[in-house]
């Protein structure tokens, strides 16, 4: 099972980017995001950014991820 994760774009080189959140950095393809910019929050599934998020949406989603991590120990 794959879950989508919100990441903040910190590097962009063409359609390749690097996103980070919760202390992790991941390579991300941004083919589906029009005019991606460093600092944008995106929802990433299977290595592809599939949706741009507002900062508020991303923070709420990241809080949920942190709660999940805490619950799993």
pLDDT per residue over 16-62, tens digit each? 999 999 889 999 999 999 999 999 999 999 999 999 999 999 999 88
Q: Whole-model pTM?
A: 0.87
CB 10 within 8 A of CB 25: yes
Q: Look at residue 2 and tell me whether its pLDDT is greater than 80.
A: no
What structural domains and CATH numbers belong to the chain? Answer: 5-72 (2.30.30.140)
């Amino acid at each position: 099972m794959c879950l989508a994760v919100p990441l903040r774009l910190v590097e962009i080189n063409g359609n390749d980017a690097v996103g980070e959140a919760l202390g992790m950095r991941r390579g991300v393809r941004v083919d589906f995001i029009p005019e991606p910019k460093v600092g944008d929050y995106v929802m990433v599934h299977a290595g592809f950014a599939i949706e741009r998020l507002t900062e508020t949406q991303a923070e709420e989603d990241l809080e949920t991820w942190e709660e999940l991590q805490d619950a799993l120990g």
